[in-house]
Amino acid sequence: MQLNLAGAKLLLPEWCRDLSCVHLAYIGDPGAGGWSAATPGSGSTRLTQAMMRLGCSDGLVFSPRQGKLAQGPDIHRQLSRRFMAVESAKIAKTFGVVVGTLAASRFKDVVWGLKRLIRAAGRGCYTFVIGKLKPEKLANFSEIDVFVLVGAGDSALVDTRDFPKPVVLPYEAVLALNPRAEWDGKIVLDFDELLQYLPPAAVAAGGGDGSIEAAGGGGE
């Protein structure tokens, strides 16, 4: 299905047949063709997550019912917090890798890759499986300077403003530990894509150089 709006031709997925039930979220320059769709009620959240993934601070939402374009959420503060967290990770001595999913495909590969990356940078590393991420849980680990959250998809984009220590995503940890990398605000959440930036995890099935421990930590 195709819709013309603001001079742009929008290609919509098949489930968007009933436009009265859809909000269209536009990311970036109207000439770039970066339209995506989100269902009503989740538009603001979905748009915010998409903007965070793309490192884009400009977003518009089109409501077919009203026939109007509205300004999307302001994510400048979120982007600023993420930037500061990456800066903290650059000087951190001890990292805590928090496993936020046990079901996502290749999550162990990501965990092992992060541990190797952190060790290669000469930093300390602990791994944790602590269930739902909450500030009070992380407060129990005062020896950790920065936490790295390994979560599934957009569930990893949690609001960490009230957390006692900075929380970064795996891709942000990669940027922080690579002196030649520059932070551009973009976020890589797909594990297959993320593994391209991490050292290979030859023993991801378990054993060999440590283990992922539930409700606690495994230090290295």
Provide the pairing of β-strand 23-27 with 59-63: antiparallel
For residues 81-90, average pLDDT: 91
Tokens of 116: 């190797």
Residue that wins the pLDDT comparison between 121 and 49: 121
Residue that wins the pLDDT comparison between 217 and 198: 198
Backbone conformation region of residue 75, classed left if phi is above 0, alpha if psi is from -120 to 50, else beta: alpha
Q: Please tell me the pTM assigned to this model.
A: 0.71
pLDDT band at residue 127 using 50, 70 and 90 as cut-offs = very high
Please, are residues 121 and 177 in contact by the beta-carbon 8 Å criterion? yes
For residues 83-97, average pLDDT: 94
**What is the reported pLDDT for 207?**
37
Beta bridge partners of 95: 125, 146
- Three-class SS string for 69-124? EEECCCCHHHHHHHHHHHHHHHHCCEEEEEECCCCCCCHHHHHHHHHHHHHHCCCE
Does residue 212 register a pLDDT over 90?
no
**Residue ranges per domain, the chain?**
2-71, 77-219
Q: What is the per-residue pLDDT across 147-182, written as a single tens digit (0 to 9) for each? A: 999 987 767 778 788 899 999 999 999 999 988 887
pLDDT band at residue 144 using 50, 70 and 90 as cut-offs = very high
Provide the pairing of β-strand 217-219 with 124-128: antiparallel
Q: Which residues of 204-218 are buried (b: 16+ CB within 10 A; e: fewer)?
A: beeeeebebeeeebe
Q: What is the per-residue pLDDT across 46-76, written as a single tens digit (0 to 9) for each? A: 677 777 777 666 666 666 666 666 666 777 7
Q: What is the per-residue pLDDT across 1-17, written as a single tens digit (0 to 9) for each? A: 555 555 555 555 555 55
Backbone conformation region of residue 18, classed left if phi is above 0, alpha if psi is from -120 to 50, else beta: beta
Does residue 187 register a pLDDT over 70?
yes
Burial of 30 (0-12, 13-18, 19+ CB in 10 A): middle
Tokens of 195: 């593994």
77-219: what fold? Rossmann fold (3.40.50)
| Region of poorest pLDDT, from 81-90, 136-145, 155-164 | 155-164
